[in-house]
Amino acid sequence: KTHKVSEPSSFVQFSVDGDVRSSSVKEKTSNPIYQQKFSFFLSDVKSQYLKVEAKEMKRERSCLGQVLIPIKTLLQEKDLELLRHPWQLALGSYVSTITLSLKLRVC
């Protein structure tokens, strides 16, 4: 008996110091495109990280991969932003890529 491997229904969870935002779920695709915006208020950009986790909805929200991005990396960028930058999501021996645009705005 053969088992058909189904594509994941995934979403991305973003967090800074426990403040969490989640994307919508993209059903049954291994190459989801989200194109959503999320904002976080930051207290110390030199020490805070953006945690990015790709998660699979159906398997008890299991993690497909994650990356920790130091917010201070944006301080070195022109206009304090990175546009369409690829980041490696790692989980054990599995590696995939997520492309994000990040902007730091000072209020």
12 neighbors 23 (Cβ within 8 angstroms): yes
Q: Which helix (H) or strand (E) holds 88?
A: strand 81-91
Return the structure tokens found at 17: 């110091």
Q: What is the mean pLDDT of residues 75-85?
A: 95
Point out which residues pair with 57 in neighbouring strands: none
pLDDT for the residue numbered 99:
95
What is residue 47's DSSP assignment? T
Taking domain 10-103, whether its CATH number is 3.40.50.970 is answered by: no
Q: Higher-confidence residue: 3 or 100?
A: 100
pTM given for the model: 0.87
